Amino acid sequence: MRDLQVALGHYRTEYNTWPDDPALATSDDVPAKVRGPLMDALLGNNPRSIMFFNPTNAEPGHSPGLVKEAGVSAMHDVWGSSYFLMLDMNGDGQVKNPERLPGAVPNPRAKPLGEFLPMLKAAFSAGPDRDPNTWADNITTWR
């Protein structure tokens, strides 16, 4: 997850924008899965063919790593789910805190955070229960 964050940062520095992927359009407010055009862009499908990210390949069921889901590149966590990502698309330097989205079940042991996270990107794993809405077992880049 850390490598993914670094790769996105380098992409942003190189092109002064995020990868061109329609699935990211709402990622300021709603988590996007780390898959598809976003992954391909980080793997080298970008204007200067730069490889920003070089993850290990994984077979489905033998995560973590890069898998092909019906021909689509996806980055899986150790429990076989795609990682999730929030990106600052509107340039205000923050993203919605996904722990506070409708349907989220907060971690009772974690200090509640505000409605927004003051960062350009935030990634998380759904954890061993493979449910992104249950935060007690989710693994995040901001905690």
Strands 116-117 and 72-76: unpaired
Question: Where in 11-50 is the site for Ca ion (CB under 5 A)?
Answer: 28
The CB-of-89 to Ca ion minimum distance in angstroms stands at 6
| 129 lies in the binding site for Ca ion (CB under 5 A) | yes
Residue type, 113: L
| 3 lies in the binding site for Ca ion (CB under 5 A) | no
The CB-of-13 to Ca ion minimum distance in angstroms stands at 18
CA-to-CA distance for 80 and 41, rounded, in angstroms? 22
The CB-of-92 to Ca ion minimum distance in angstroms stands at 4
| 139 lies in the binding site for Ca ion (CB under 5 A) | no
Gyration radius of the chain's alpha carbons = 15
Q: DSSP strand E in the chain: where?
A: 32-33, 65-69, 72-76, 84-87, 95-96, 116-117, 121-125, 139-140
Question: Where in 91-120 is the site for Ca ion (CB under 5 A)?
Answer: 92, 94
Provide the binding-site residues for Ca ion, judged by CB under 5 A: 28, 88, 90, 92, 94, 126-127, 129, 131, 134, 137-138
